[in-house]
Every structure is written in C-alpha cells, then in structure tokens.
Amino acid sequence: MGIKKQLGQKIRRIRLNRGLTQEQLSEMIDVSQRTLSGIETGDNFVTAETFDKLSKSLNVSIEDFFFTEHLKSEEELSDEIIKSVKLLKNNHQKLEFLYRIVQALKLE
C-alpha cells in the first residue's frame, strides 16, 4: 500500500474517532469535501498547508499521521491479538489485566 493511501486511511480513522463527518472536517481545514474524500482514499495528496490544518484541527502531531503499523485488516489484527494472548497463557497477572481491558472495551 502506498503512502498516499496509508496517510488517507489514517486521516479517515482519526476523523471518525473524533466523530467528525467529511463535511465538518473539510470546513475546519478549508478544503472541499471532494478534496478531503480524495485525500482519504489516497487519490489526492495533502499540501503542506492542508497537512498543518489537519494536524491542528484533529489535534494530532505530524509524526502520528505517519505511524501506520496498526493499519491492518480486522482479520490480521485479530490474529495478532490471539497470538499475543497465547504467549501470555502462563502469566496469570498479565492475563487478568488484559481481561479487565477487554471488559472495559466491551462497555463502550
């Protein structure tokens, strides 16, 4: 996957996590909704000015936009989580801690 697509996916995920529509974010960063859509799909690349506005509007550092290790499919993420849990099977304290985290996530 290319950098434009990865960056676009990251911007989209952050926008959705902030509860913003494309229309709302496009107004905040002063670009058309169509332009923002193109950025999120990886068809367009952001200008430095738009990138700066995205960073400020979404309250995310520039560096965080490029941390994309977690951009994996749900199946890949699920497989990696299961492998990690299996490695903890002999550590009751860590398993208990992880269990509490999972329970808390189910409440959201």
- Mean pLDDT (the chain, rounded): 88
Mean local confidence (pLDDT), 1-8:
85
CA distances from 91 to 12, 86, 96, 103 (A): 37, 10, 9, 18
Which pLDDT tens digit goes with each residue over 38-72? 999 999 989 999 999 999 999 988 888 877 665 56
Task: Identify how many contiguous H helices and E strands the chain contains and give both numbers.
Answer: 7, 0
pTM above 0.85, yes or no: no
